[in-house]
Amino acid sequence: MLNLFNNLYTFIYFLFFLTLYVMYAKKKGSFKNFDATSYILIYYAITAFFSLLYYNISNGMFRDYSKITLTPYLYLCICFCIALFPIYKNDNSTIFRANLTVKSERFVNRLIVVLMICAVLPFLESIIHLPNVLRSGAMADVYNMRLEGRGSDYLSFLGRKFFLILWLCNNLIPILLLYSIIKNKKKKYIVGLSLTLITIWIHSMFLGGRSKLVQNALYVIFVFFVFKQFIPENKRKIIIKYGGVVLSVAVVGLAAVSISRFASMGDTSSLSSIWEWIGLYAGEGALNFNALEWYVKGSTNGYTTFALPLSVYDGALITVEDLWNIKSKLGIPGNIFYTYMGPFVGDFGKTGGIVVFFILSMLVTFIYKSKHINGMQKLCLICLWGKILMVGPIFYTYSTVDDQINLLISLIIVALL
């Protein structure tokens, strides 16, 4: 009987997103009129379906989901609507021009050239390293060694420095790529930025990681839909054609890493197939939030949402392992996913979490509506905010110090446009 109700609650959670998508499509007048809001709604419906599908696979095997109730799902639905509002506002606002001043245009061109130059050495070193990762189980071995603190980056000293610059600007690279296409910039810019994206993806793949690969691939698609209204129909077809080739790199990389890591688990996993394992990766966040995070009584005191300023205040860098340990002190696993609202609830409680997130959403909306920012800055702001939802079913994308530094640098660059 308990399983019946838990499945019913999860089905209602799935139905919420599916219903919103159908209602929004009818409001737009066509299911073919796909925009960023449509993409997010159908994406969340899919991840909620995975939560429904894999509840029975994981419950009682290596997760205890007996505490699942309807209220936490309703809470997540309300938070989702709050998060979606700025994106919905952009998709349904008066069309503005994604233009920059001559001075800002020169700045963008120089930034693109710098990124292209920085991508050359890491890309070549990654290609040279390719034979080493083709060995069966190689990526899983690298990943396990990194978890144990024994792993090292395959890039050279200079390669790592150049790659760091790429990584610090990774939030803006898809935006710069779409902007270059819209503005008919030189093909070398478009090809160079595409290779920059691929370099980031294959570096993540070669180190056995999946999260950065998934984040960036989903984010690139989202950025396309944000810019879609500015792209002529003929160019959209070209973007879809060649973009599919670029995204296939991410798909192949994700499959390779997943197969390697699953194979290395042997009999240590209760999941009987790689498809179950991948599906659980996509759907466990909401289940974990509902059954575990929702019942936490303590607080992580702001460390899981404001790690960067607290690192500065404490005078010590807060690492990912530190965040895991902070979470574990609340009596729940620190190294699993709790959706994007998990850190906010852990830091500020249920009421405080939704209030803080509401304030952030309204702040983004207020800045978006300001007359003091141009159209390109508006689009960048929506993209940076939307990345929270893109990774949202899994975790909060700006939770670590590195990701918050990336966000800060992105905001500074956007302010200079």
Strand-pairing partners, residue 354, are none
Amino acid code (one letter) for 337: F
pLDDT of residue 230: 82
pLDDT of residue 345: 93
pLDDT of residue 277: 58
Query: Which of 86 and 96 is assigned the larger pLDDT?
Result: 86
pLDDT digits (tens, 9 = 90+) for 131-140: 776 554 545 4
Structure tokens at 279: 């599906």
Highest mean pLDDT: which range of 7-16, 56-65, 227-236 = 7-16
109 contact partners, CB below 8 Å, separation of at least 6:
185, 189
Alpha-carbon dihedral 174, 176, 181, 187, rounded to 10 degrees: -100
Phi/psi for 121 (5° steps) reads -65, -50
pLDDT of residue 381: 93
Q: Are 323 and 87 in contact (CB under 8 A)?
A: no
Segment 45-58 shows an average pLDDT of 83
pLDDT digits (tens, 9 = 90+) for 186-219: 888 888 898 898 888 887 777 756 667 777 888 9
Q: Are 112 and 193 in contact (CB under 8 A)?
A: yes
- Sign of the Cα torsion 341, 345, 350, 355 reads negative
pLDDT digits (tens, 9 = 90+) for 145-177: 555 454 567 788 898 899 999 999 999 999 999
Strand-pairing partners, residue 59, are 63
Between the alpha carbon of residue 253 and those of residues 24, 156, 168, 200, 223, the distances in Å are: 33, 22, 21, 11, 21
pLDDT at 244 over 80: no
Q: Which range (29-33, 192-196, 207-211, 354-358) has the least confidence? A: 207-211
pTM: 0.88
Residue 222: CB atoms within 10 Å: 22
41 HSE (CA, 13 A, CB side):
21
pLDDT of residue 210: 64
Nearest Cα to Cα of residue 199 among 231, 165, 229, 152:
165
Q: Are 346 and 327 in contact (CB under 8 A)?
A: yes
pLDDT tier, 28 (very low <50, low <70, confident <90, very high otherwise): confident
